[in-house]
């Protein structure tokens, strides 16, 4: 290891990544790919004894961008992680019991004459002349019939632009990235960190001590130690922003079960009395879990609910996980940058944690100063922290939206979240939509405008007015264009292959491991 210490940003020579979960190995792989061996020596310490959380199994479409950046072959990735494809999330019983809606990836319809599709849609809907908005999403229509295909080059056909993400086995993904990164020069050290040494004057971290007695020094430390937040939280003492007032779920009970015939190309989220259950279909099993609030549901009730919600035989005993919603005040402090669960946690309702890792590691790689160049610039950390806050805070607002707009009257958790005071930023977004049909449209951070629309309308929030720009086209023309588009989407969706058939054709995982109770049916 190097003896140099990073007293400023000019001489980064040694980067130490603490932790080898999804965050640690995504960071190591990105650095190996983007920074290259001449930039810095990259070392990762992980402890098999402690292990990883291993439950992140559903993603959003940005994951494909990440894999492409690494140059991973998609079929090989899906095969190796026993994964499947995901076109969106089905929400069951969220608005009210018996109701369901779909949050599809990608866009609804097509904009016309410079005016957003949703403005026209809302105009027709207010006149009672438009069915559910799903009819204008190829993803939603394909998911309805368990169909899937990657986009093809087909001009302005809806088939040219199919947005999708993956479900995968998180343990296998970390293993896969570990192999990828170590083959490209990342050094891996196995050991349990028992102490963190900081310079008494500068406050910067100088080294970590292993149980074996060895000390590992570094210039820049990436804290990927999971919920423990060994460096940023425990050692640097960066404050925690607690968001449990808005997101009261603080436990999860996870249990895999045997597959059933067919593989749904979507995640299902079903609202329950004390939270919600997830269902994530992989090739060899289904991942399930119950995210619940300990103030509204006991562990015994959660155990019973999750086992009652699964489709196949359980493959393990339900496993309890504890957490709190929130984030660190800053993700970068001194020479420590936290990525992954060490930086914050938002429940997996929209599968955002892995994206938050990806966003942080990409921002960090973009803000990393060139070795030996320029004066120390604290604005790098300030810029990282600005982006860090945007990603987390906008994601938080989006999740809280699912809870607050519910009509599950008489159920303590749901009454509580319906009546709680909202973050100002979310209250503004809801008011904006209610009054004028305009939805948030951000260039940065999650989620896109159409994702907001899916959940706003899905949870039963409808605007009192539509964007008046939609009145510029004659009503007949609008109705005709939308009907035509809807027809084309329905025809194309119907022609897609079954999701299971697609996997079988391109990326079927070999059978064999002990928990492989069923593969693609
Ligand atoms: P971990 O996996 O906990 O890894 C921490 C690493 O640090 C391990 O290697 C550990 O050995 C090491 N370590 C810790 N302490 C020490 C020490 N003292 N010495 C040495 N090494 C140490 N995300 C999604 O995107 N989609 C989902 O569907 C999703 N579902 C989730 C469901 C639940 C119930 C939970 C709790 C999380 C979910 N997540 C999901 C989040 C996702 O699991 C995490 O974001 C992801 O796994 C990254 O975790 P991590 O690498 O930060 O931490």
Q: What is the mean pLDDT of each run of 10 residues along the chain (521 residues)?
A: 40 86 96 86 95 89 93 95 97 96 95 93 92 96 97 88 94 92 96 97 94 94 97 98 98 96 94 98 96 98 98 96 98 95 97 95 87 62 96 96 96 98 95 91 77 95 91 94 96 96 94 45 26
- Ligand 1, residues at Cβ distance < 6 Å: 19-24, 45-47, 50-53, 55-59, 170, 192-193, 224-226, 228, 230, 252, 254, 289, 321, 323, 340-342, 348, 351, 353-354
Residue 54: predicted pLDDT: 82
- CA atoms within 13 Å, Cβ hemisphere of 414: 20
3-class DSSP assignment, residue 243: coil
Tell me, in angstroms, the distance from the centre of ligand 1 to residue 101's CA.
Answer: 30
User: Which numbered atom of ligand 1 lies nearest the CA of 58?
Assistant: 28
Burial string for 238-277 (b: 16+ CB within 10 Å, else e) reads: beeeebeebbbbbbbbbbbbbbeeebbbbbbbbbbebbbb
Choosing from 86, 147, 443, 517, which is the catalytic residue?
A: 86
β-bridge mates for residue 278, sequence order: 269, 289
Residues 6+ away with beta carbon under 8 Å from 223: 18, 19, 229, 230, 231, 232, 336, 337, 338, 339, 342, 343
Helix segments in 340-472, DSSP class H: 353-367, 379-404, 412-419, 424-436, 449-458
Residue 376: predicted pLDDT: 42
**Whether the Cβ atoms of residue 509 and residue 79 lie closer than 8 Å to each other:** yes
Residue 40: predicted pLDDT: 86
58, 340, 359, 360: which to mutate for ligand 1, most atoms within 8 A of CB?
Answer: 340
Task: Classify residue 351 as exposed, middle or buried by CB count within 10 Å of its CB (0-12, 13-18, 19+).
Answer: buried
- Measured by CA distance, the residue closest to atom 30 of ligand 1 is 56
Tell me, in angstroms, the distance from the centre of ligand 1 to residue 483's CA.
Answer: 46
User: Which numbered atom of ligand 1 lies nearest the CA of 208?
Assistant: 19
- Measured by CA distance, the residue closest to atom 45 of ligand 1 is 353
Residue 55: predicted pLDDT: 84
Tell me, in angstroms, the distance from the centre of ligand 1 to residue 52's CA.
Answer: 5
Question: What's the chain's length in residues?
Answer: 521
pLDDT digits (tens, 9 = 90+) for 422-446: 999 999 999 999 999 998 777 666 7
* Nearest-angstrom CA–CA distance, 262 and 265: 9
29, 43, 52: which to mutate for ligand 1, most atoms within 8 A of CB?
Answer: 52
Residue 2: predicted pLDDT: 37
**Whether the Cβ atoms of residue 343 and residue 232 lie closer than 8 Å to each other:** yes
User: Which numbered atom of ligand 1 lies nearest the CA of 194?
Assistant: 18
Strand-pair category, 240-242 with 251-257: unpaired
* Nearest-angstrom CA–CA distance, 380 and 296: 42
Residue 27: predicted pLDDT: 97
Check residue 468 and report its DSSP letter. Answer: G
353, 354, 360, 398: which to mutate for ligand 1, most atoms within 8 A of CB?
Answer: 353
Tell me, in angstroms, the distance from the centre of ligand 1 to residue 341's CA.
Answer: 6
The pTM assigned to this predicted structure is 0.94
50, 294, 302, 399: which to mutate for ligand 1, most atoms within 8 A of CB?
Answer: 50
Residue 520: predicted pLDDT: 32
User: Which numbered atom of ligand 1 lies nearest the CA of 351?
Assistant: 26
Residue 516: predicted pLDDT: 43
Tell me, in angstroms, the distance from the centre of ligand 1 to residue 226's CA.
Answer: 5
Tell me, in angstroms, the distance from the centre of ligand 1 to residue 325's CA.
Answer: 14
Please name the helix (run of DSSP H) or strand (run of DSSP E) that holds residue 174, with its range, or none.
helix 170-182
Nearest to 459 by CA among 252, 296, 271: 271
Task: Classify residue 203 as exposed, middle or buried by CB count within 10 Å of its CB (0-12, 13-18, 19+).
Answer: middle
Specify whether 443 is catalytic: no
Residue 12: predicted pLDDT: 62
End-to-end Cα separation, the chain, in angstroms: 51
β-bridge mates for residue 279, sequence order: 268, 288
Tell me, in angstroms, the distance from the centre of ligand 1 to residue 395's CA.
Answer: 18
């Amino acid at each position: 290891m190097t003896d140099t210490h990073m007293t400023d940003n000019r001489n980064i020579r040694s980067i130490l990544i603490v932790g080898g979960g999804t965050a640690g190995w995504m960071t190591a792989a990105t650095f190996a790919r983007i920074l290259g061996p001449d930039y810095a020596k990259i070392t990762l310490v992980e402890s098999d004894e402690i292990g990883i959380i291993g439950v992140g199994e559903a993603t959003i479409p940005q994951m494909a961008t990440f894999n492409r950046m690494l140059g991973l072959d998609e079929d090989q990735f899906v095969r190796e992680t026993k994964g499947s494809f995901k076109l969106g999330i089905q929400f069951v019983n969220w608005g009210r019991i018996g109701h369901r809606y779909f949050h599809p990836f990608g866009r609804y319809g097509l904009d016309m004459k410079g005016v957003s599709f949703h403005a026209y849609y809302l105009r027709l809907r207010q006149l009672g002349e438009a069915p559910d908005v799903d009819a204008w999403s190829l993803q939603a229509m394909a998911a309805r019939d368990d169909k899937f295909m990657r986009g093809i080059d087909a001009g302005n056909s809806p088939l040219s632009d199919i947005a999708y993400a993956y479900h995968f086995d998180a343990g296998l993904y970390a293993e896969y990235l570990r192999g990828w990164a170590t083959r490209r020069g990342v050094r891996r050290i196995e050991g349990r960190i028992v102490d963190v040494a900081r310079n008494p004057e500068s406050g910067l971290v100088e080294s970590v001590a292993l149980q074996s007695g060895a000390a590992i020094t570094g210039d820049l430390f990436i804290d990927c130690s999971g919920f423990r937040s060994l460096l940023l939280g425990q050692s640097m003492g960066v404050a925690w922003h607690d968001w449990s007032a808005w997101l009261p779920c603080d436990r999860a009970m996870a249990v895999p079960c045997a597959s059933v015939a067919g593989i749904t190309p979507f995640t299902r989220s079903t609202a329950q009395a004390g939270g919600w259950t997830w269902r994530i279909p992989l090739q060899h099993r289904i991942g399930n879990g119950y995210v619940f609030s300990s103030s509204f549901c006991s562990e015994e009730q959660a155990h019973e609910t999750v086992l009652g919600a699964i489709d196949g035989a359980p493959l393990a005993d339900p496993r309890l996980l504890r957490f709190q919603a929130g984030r660190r005040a800053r993700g970068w402090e001194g020479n420590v940058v936290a990525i992954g669960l060490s930086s914050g946690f938002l429940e997996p309702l929209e599968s955002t944690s892995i994206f938050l890792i990806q966003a942080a590691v990409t921002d960090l790689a973009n803000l990393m100063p060139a070795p030996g160049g320029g004066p120390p610039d604290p604005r790098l950390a300030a810029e990282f922290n600005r982006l860090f806050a945007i990603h987390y805070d906008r994601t938080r607002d989006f999740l809280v939206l699912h809870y607050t707009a519910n009509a599950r009257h008489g159920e303590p958790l749901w009454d509580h979240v319906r009546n709680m005071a909202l973050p100002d930023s979310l209250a503004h977004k809801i008011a904006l939509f209610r009054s004028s049909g305009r939805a948030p449209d951000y260039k940065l951070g999650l989620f896109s405008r159409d994702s907001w629309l899916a959940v706003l309308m899905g949870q039963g929030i409808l605007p009192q007015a539509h964007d008046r720009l939609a009145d510029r086209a004659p009503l007949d023309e609008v109705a005709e264009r939308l009907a035509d588009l809807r027809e084309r989407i329905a025809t194309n969706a119907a022609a897609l292959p079954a999701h299971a058939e697609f996997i079988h054709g391109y990326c079927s995982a070999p059978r064999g491991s002990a928990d492989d109770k069923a593969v693609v049916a």
